[in-house]
């Protein structure tokens, strides 16, 4: 079953802009699109965990996850480099690493910037 665009409203205390996982789960569970399905918050939590685990597993394998309109999750490689210890000024070597990254899609950018369709 494919659901259309989901409108989620997250109520935050004044001055707070951080949304934690529990608040996000509650907002998804209360969204109009999902209330019709009568899913409990624990079911929504399980679904969100499964989605995040799937994205994490794909990135771990080096795959890219594309969610059209929302964005792309991908892995960027950072080459080994030389750095300096800020306390001593001593040269140190920094190992090569992989970084998970996200590139926002057109629809998400337009939504965030208030562009009307």
Please state, in angstroms and rounded to a whole number, the distance separating the CA atoms of residues 23 and 47: 15
* Residue 87, pLDDT above cutoff 70: yes
Q: Per-residue pLDDT averaged across 70-79, rounded?
A: 96
Half-sphere exposure of residue 87, counting CA atoms within 13 Å on the CB side? 0
Q: Would you state the pLDDT for residue 38? A: 86
95 Cβ contact partners less than 8 Å away, ≥ 6 residues apart:
80
Q: What is the pLDDT of residue 76?
A: 96
When comparing pLDDT for 3 and 48, which is higher?
A: 48
User: What pLDDT sits at residue 8?
Assistant: 54
Residues 117, 29: Cα–Cα separation, whole Å: 27
Judged by average pLDDT, the poorest of 10-14, 15-19, 60-64 is 10-14
**Is 14 inside any structural domain?**
no
State mean pLDDT over 54-71. Answer: 95
* pLDDT attached to residue 2: 39
Same domain? 75 vs 103: yes
pLDDT of residue 108: 93
Indicate the average pLDDT of the chain. 86
Residues comprising the chain, all counted: 117
Residue 10 located in a structural domain: no
Same domain, 85 and 116: yes
Please say if the pLDDT value at position 101 is more than 80. Answer: yes
Examine residue 5 and state whether it is found in any structural domain, yes or no: no
Angle at 67 between CA 64 and CA 73, to 5 degrees: 35
Per-residue pLDDT, averaged over 53-57, amounts to: 96
**2 located within any domain:** no
Is 4 part of a structural domain of the chain? no
Q: Is residue 110 situated within a structural domain?
A: yes
Residue 115 has pLDDT above 90, yes or no: no
């Amino acid at each position: 079953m494919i659901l259309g665009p989901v409108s989620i409203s997250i109520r935050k205390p004044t001055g707070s802009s951080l949304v934690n996982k529990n608040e996000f789960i509650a907002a998804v569970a209360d969204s109009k699109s999902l209330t019709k399905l009568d899913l409990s918050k624990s079911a929504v939590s399980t679904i969100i965990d499964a989605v995040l685990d799937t994205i994490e597993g794909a990135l771990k394998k080096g795959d890219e996850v594309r969610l059209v309109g929302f964005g792309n999750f991908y892995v960027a490689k950072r080459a080994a480099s030389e750095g300096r210890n800020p306390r001593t000024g001593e040269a140190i070597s920094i190992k090569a690493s992989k970084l998970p990254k996200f590139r926002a899609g057109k629809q998400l950018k337009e939504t965030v910037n208030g562009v009307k369709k």
